[in-house]
Chain A
Amino acid sequence: MSTNDHHHDGHGGNGHGHSNERMVSVRVLRQENPHSGSHWESFEVPYEHGMNITTVLLRIAANPVTTDHHETTPIAYDSCCLEEVCGACTMVINDRVRQGCSALVENLLKDSPEGITLQPMTKFPVVRDLLVNRKPMFESLKKIKAWVHVDGYYDLGGGPRISQKEQEKAYPLSCCMTCGCCVEACPQFNDHSAFIGPAAISQAVLFNAHPTAKVDRDDRLAVLSGAGGITDCGNSQNCVKVCPKGIPLTDSIAQTGRDTTIYKFRQWFGR
């Protein structure tokens, strides 16, 4: 793009001009490894127009020096898509669980002008700094058979006819990116409970409604009727408030409540 005398790619600079010397204060809860304790570190990062939290972390990685001029290490964190669709960069930002890539510094400072705090999610084991291991969430998806059990991958024609209405119900549920916000916010999901959590419950609803995946419906309901299932939900509705994809989790929970009741009834009467 050689004739472009503005910026190399026309998209503006990437923050190394520091024309604007406004600094952003960021405090990060750090932890070296799963077995070590945690401590806070503070950084001052030059503000850039349109900056998000993943950019802040990149800038710190390029210049890992704390506010009190201590040389430190780059902060470990998860990220991939940078547009809030992969779920990787979930963390607790100013006490609220959300994705770092879609958290714009400008908006954060509006609510909290003194600075920004970053912490790892608390419901999963910390690997290092802001990086946690969310494997249990993926394991839950196995338990509830979150898939359509097809005969195979040979050409057997199209899928079932599906109405617009059904699609419009399924699509939002199918946007769950296993990010963990909902379980982080859920008071019932913790070390002392086996609660499977709202994301998995909602996935079970998605597959139970699918014309083909329905065959495994009873298996899913058996899991959700058992220990760690739907009865562990205290109905506090925290989950639905923090879901970045606006998934109607409490509707899924209500639906599952009804479905499991009927399921148990059927079990008692042996049919």
Chain B
Amino acid sequence: MAKQHVVIVGGGLAGLAAAMKLAESGIHVHLVSMVPVKRSHSVCAQGGINAVNDLTRQQGDSEWLHLDDTVYGGDFLQHQPPVKEMCDWGPKIVNLLDRLGVPFNRSPEGFRDQRRFGGTLFKRTAFAGATTGQQLLYALDEQVRRWESEGLIEKFEYWEFLDLILDGNNQCRGVVIQDMFSMEVRSLAADAVILATGGNGLIYGRSTMSMICTGGAAARAFRAGVKYANGEFVQVHPTAIPGTDKLRLMSESARGEGGRVWVPRKPQDPRDPQSIPAAERYYFLEERYPKYGNLVPRDIATREIFDVCVNQGLSAEKGHLCVYLDVTELSAEAHKKLWGILEIYEKFQGVDPRTTPMKIFPAVHYTMGGLWVDYVKKDQSGGLALDSLKNQMSNVPGVYVLGEADYQYHGANRLGANSLLSCIFAGLIVGPAVEAWLKSLPKSSASDSPASLFDNAVKPHQQRMHDLISRAGGENPYHIHNELGEWMTRNVTVVRFNKDLTATLQKIDELEERYSRVGLADKSNWTNQNFSFARALGDMILMAKVITKGALLRDECRGAHYKPEFAIKGPDADDPKKLHQQAEQWCKEFKQQTDKWLKTTIATYTSKGVEFSYEPVDTSLIPPRPRTYGLKGAEIIEKTWKEMTQGAAQKRTEPIGKPVTANA
């Protein structure tokens, strides 16, 4: 029998963590990436990585509270066992990164420094300046380079993943990939394939994501039969700056270090912001959410900024929507910790944010939805059974998915600094899962499969390339992409209306039709980026449909998915008795909405098009509750909800050894 092989597609944090973990177990890995792995999108991550630590623990924090913050932040849409396992692993993962040489910021005594992030009251976030993702990626890249020099990992950089190769039993036997220089299309046999290909922000034209974040690879796996879950959940980050090609992020860490968001109380006050006295500034997040202040979770901060600018007309500028993100009051020490992002602002805006408040506005940022993956729960702990071959495996046997490309950990809204954690966590636990899978296979390897299986998989892609390149169509792929981005950004982001979603679906159909007539300016067979982009555009159009249709079908508000037409009206009566009645009514409707919609959207690609179905969510550890974040005026909802559910809560059995702590 030939040697078994694992192909990992994607060399961001998730893919690299998986590669090094498998190499450690002596498993041979082929690592495929469109860009040299050291340049993967993960380098962009700025703020940090979450894990309970010795300090927060003494302030009352625990892994259980990290779990609670994560599922409350995600509006309860994620299965809780994998999230629990991830939060339990948090401290171990940060320790490991520390051992790998990540230059985490230090306290004067030499311990790791911590900052606070959104959606929590604890300083749970470890960081390396304001370029944490870069530093983590480099640490893993170095480990992978070491294994590469020992012969366990072989890299295919500047190779693009095109397809999965499935045998007659629908089991994965390899991948089709293309050399982005020579344009050669070939197959790679694999007994297991791990997809760690990141998010799909480019569907929105400009976002905070990198040029390669088209989601093309996930779309190709979707076409090949992998289910796609919760596509309609797209994170719009509250604080980004404009740009002609990218909306650059100003990390939540700016607020974690004390940065404040405000607008002048007088609409478009023409004064220099520094000369506007405190009393004439509207610190709307702090006023409305006294408990969390500027660090409410992202979906809420984004909606508030949007509301202040669009509905209340308080944008700091006329004709250009923005609010101030103000770090001018912070110490030089804090400025130093934020160096990486302050430098970005200064470089691209030409203004020093240490002395002038930054102008920011929300931008598409993170893909909560993703390819569907499985997990196996361990009853004693409430977490995962880590010896199971099913963890992180998709519905296609032998295909695993990790990182931003999967849907598993962040529900309806991701908390800041939880993504780096979920990427590395999934990368580490997929090791034993893949190992178990390889052991379970009959004594043959994918490379023993008949050559025809591989040839037949490669040929259609060669043909498709030939067709697209030689087509004499008149449509310009870049223009179609711009239109797609504009429609998606206008209608499928912060505030969603069914009529707009319907119109967007029609528009996408039109773009799809035009896409079939795309003609390329570059007809060459050497390093044809024009072609590669046009091919990914087809994938983006498909996934735009999945996102928009999912949004249209989901008639409720949950996390980042907000439909005013289906928002439950908040209690507002002056009379206390009436107010209480309204709150009861609110809670009843909330309960109904939860019963109806607390489920995972599943999209399946069929010959008849995309089909939608729903799956229940495992909320066995922490029952769903209204998500108020201490909003002023919503106290009555929290109180009423507690009264109404008290009986039920007592009946709940808690996992062994984990005390239920009151929510953070």
Give me the interface of A with B, judged by CB distance under 8 Å. Answer: 1-4, 6-12, 14-16, 32-33, 48-52, 54-55, 58, 61-64, 71-74, 76-88, 101-102, 104, 127-128, 131, 134, 138, 141-142, 145-150, 152-153, 155-159, 161-164, 166-167, 170-171, 174-175, 177-178, 207, 210, 212-213
Task: Decide: A11 and B206 in contact? CB cutoff 8 A.
Answer: yes
Tell yes or no: B211 within 8 A of A by CB. yes
Tell whether A33 pairs with B526 under 8 Å between CB atoms, given A11-B247, A11-B363, A175-B134. Answer: yes
Question: Is A213 a contact of B361 with CB atoms below 8 Å?
Answer: no
Interface string of B465-498 (1 = CB under 8 A from A): 0000000000010110010011001110111010
- The CA of A177 and the CA of B42, in the complex, are separated in Å by 13
Q: Which one, B110, B146, B181, B364, contacts A149 given CB within 8 A?
A: B146
Distance (whole angstroms) from the CB of B342 to the closest CB of chain A? 13
Q: A210-B101, A212-B99 given as contacts; is B310 within 8 A of A3 (CB)?
A: yes
Which residues on the A side are within 8 Å of B148 (C-beta)?
142
- Highest count of chain A CB atoms <10 Å: which of B38, B245, B500, B530: B245
Q: Which of B187-195, B318-326, B398-406 contacts A (4 or more CB under 8 A)?
A: B318-326
Asked if A159 meets B98 with Cβ closer than 8 Å, knowing A74-B521, A86-B43, the reply is: yes
A156 to B96, CA, bound (A): 8
| CB pairs A–B below 8 angstroms (15 shown) | A2-B497, A4-B310, A4-B321, A11-B240, A11-B243, A11-B247, A12-B242, A12-B320, A33-B526, A50-B348, A81-B39, A85-B131, A102-B347, A158-B95, A174-B103
A2's nearest neighbour on chain B, judged by CB, is B500
B92 at the interface (CB under 8 A from A): yes
Contact code string B423-457 (vs A, CB < 8 Å = 1, else 0): 00000100000000000000000000000000000
Contact between B44 and A83, CB atoms less than 8 A apart? yes
Cβ-based interface call for B649 (8 A): no
In the assembled complex, how far is the CB of residue A129 from the closest CB belonging to chain B, in whole angstroms? 8
Which single member of A16, A76, A152, A163 contacts B529 (CB below 8 Å)?
A: A76
In the assembled complex, B306 has its CB within 8 A of some CB on chain A: yes
Tell me if B100 counts as interface (CB < 8 A to partner A).
yes
B110 touches A2 (CB 8 A): no
Q: When the two chains form the complex, which single residue of A11, A83, A141, A166 contacts B145, counting CB atoms closer than 8 Å?
A: A141
Pairwise interchain contact A1-B489, C-beta atoms closer than 8 A: yes
Find A3's partner among B128, B311, B478, B521 (CB 8 Å cutoff). B311
The closest CB in chain B to the CB of A62 belongs to B478
Closest-CB distance, B430 to chain A (whole angstroms): 12
A152 to B24, CA, bound (A): 7
Instruction: Point out the residue from B21, B108, B476, B524 that lies within 8 Å of A73, measured CB to CB.
Output: B524
Residues in B with CB closer than 8 Å to A54 are 245
Shortest 3 CB-CB contacts between residues of A and residues of B: A10-B321, A159-B98, A62-B478
In the bound complex, what is the Cα–Cα distance between A115 and B428 (angstroms)? 50
Interface string of B46-64 (1 = CB under 8 A from A): 0000000000000000000
Give complex CA distance A33, B212 in Å. 23
Q: How many residues of B contact A (CB 8 A)?
A: 96
- Shortest C-beta distance, A132 to chain B (Å), equals 11
Q: State A150–B96 Cα separation when bound (angstroms).
A: 10
* Distance of A134 Cα from B210 Cα, bound (Å): 20
Is B243 touching A164 in the complex (CB atoms < 8 A)?
Answer: no
In contact, A1 and B493 (Cβ under 8 angstroms): yes
Q: Are A80 and B211 in contact (CB under 8 A)?
A: yes
Chain B 203-224 interface mask (CB, 8 Å, partner A; 1/0): 0111000111000000000000
Q: A9-B247, A142-B148, A213-B101 are in contact. Are A1 and B482 (CB under 8 A)?
A: no
Does chain A have a CB within 8 A of B104?
A: yes
Q: Is the CB of A102 within 8 A of B244?
A: no
Q: Given A6-B320, A10-B322, decide whether A82 and B347 contact each other with a Cβ distance below 8 A.
A: no
B residues near A146, Cβ cutoff 8 Å: 142, 145
Name the interface residues of B319-346: CB closer than 8 Å to any CB of A. 319-322, 340, 344
Extra inter-chain contacts (19) besides given A11-B243, A148-B139, CB under 8 Å: A8-B486, A9-B493, A14-B206, A16-B482, A50-B349, A61-B529, A62-B478, A64-B521, A73-B524, A84-B344, A85-B131, A102-B348, A134-B36, A141-B142, A150-B143, A159-B95, A167-B106, A170-B103, A178-B36
Contact present for B321 and A171 (CB under 8 Å): no
1/0 per position for B169-211, CB-CB distance to A under 8 A? Answer: 0000000000001000000000000000000000011100011
Q: Which residues of A contact B21 (CB under 8 A)?
A: 153
Give complex CA distance A7, B482 in Å: 13
Shortest C-beta distance, A120 to chain B (Å), equals 12
Residues of A within 8 A of B533 (CB): 61
